[in-house]
Amino acid sequence: MKVLAFGAHPDDVEFQIGGTLAKYANQGHEVYIAVATDGCIGSYRHTKEEIAQIRHKEAQNAAELIGAKLIWMGFEDEFLFDNRESRLKFIDVIRSVRPDVMFSHEPYNDYNQDHDITGYLVFTARILSSVKLIETEHEVCAKVPALFYYTTLGIINFVPEYYVDITDTFETKKQMFLCHESQHGDWCRDAFGVSYLEMSENESRLLATQAGTPGCSYAEGFKICKGWPTIAGAYKLLPQ
């Protein structure tokens, strides 16, 4: 199976679904991580060019930890828009992978506009990737993949429909997240006074409490995209 996870910024995917992606990888599935923007504003210490380069390398290291392939889309951090260029790029990324299942932010339900627009572009491109007369570099997809939305930051305005027990891959998730040294080390404390690593751990514990499965210490939560065509039984695509 091919799994394609989109994140607006380098580290979003690791933060929200690193444990689930590690489970897919452990089960032998092909995992791809597509990062929409270059993370170029995430520093008080570097220039935009420097921090974008650092974050690209960090994202590469995190993907390599689980043998995932990184797709660096390179839009400007905090200035992602739904326009012709971005729509075609999202369509082409989906066509380049031809995934069975995709993950993304939920459209227009998070604290950051790049998250919102990434979610909307994935939702839009999911169907358009199978429309032949929209031409991009890669060949049109033969089917529309299932799409799951992962939790918002702080799990605000988000009630999951499905939970994945990541107790056995939580350590890997943590290591993936730690690859983003420039973020948990400096940026998040400098800019917001919080530790993203602690937040990620707290959220995974809270989701485990919600899941209520005996022996589950850490979990990640999902909703399925309800837009047509609904794929019956698509929840079974989540790793067990």
Q: Which residues bind Zn ion (CB under 5 A)?
A: 8-9, 12
Q: Which residue's CB is nearer to Zn ion, number 9 or number 23?
A: 9
Minimum distance from residue 11 beta carbon to Zn ion (Å): 7
Minimum distance from residue 223 beta carbon to Zn ion (Å): 18
Q: Which residue's CB is nearer to Zn ion, number 116 or number 165?
A: 116
Q: Which residue's CB is nearer to Zn ion, number 12 or number 38?
A: 12
Minimum distance from residue 37 beta carbon to Zn ion (Å): 8
Q: Which residue's CB is nearer to Zn ion, number 9 or number 180?
A: 9
| Residue number, nearest CB to Zn ion | 9
Q: Which residue's CB is nearer to Zn ion, number 41 or number 211?
A: 41
Minimum distance from residue 191 beta carbon to Zn ion (Å): 12
Minimum distance from residue 84 beta carbon to Zn ion (Å): 24
What phi-psi label fits residue 119: left (phi over 0), alpha (psi between -120 and 50 degrees) or beta?
A: alpha
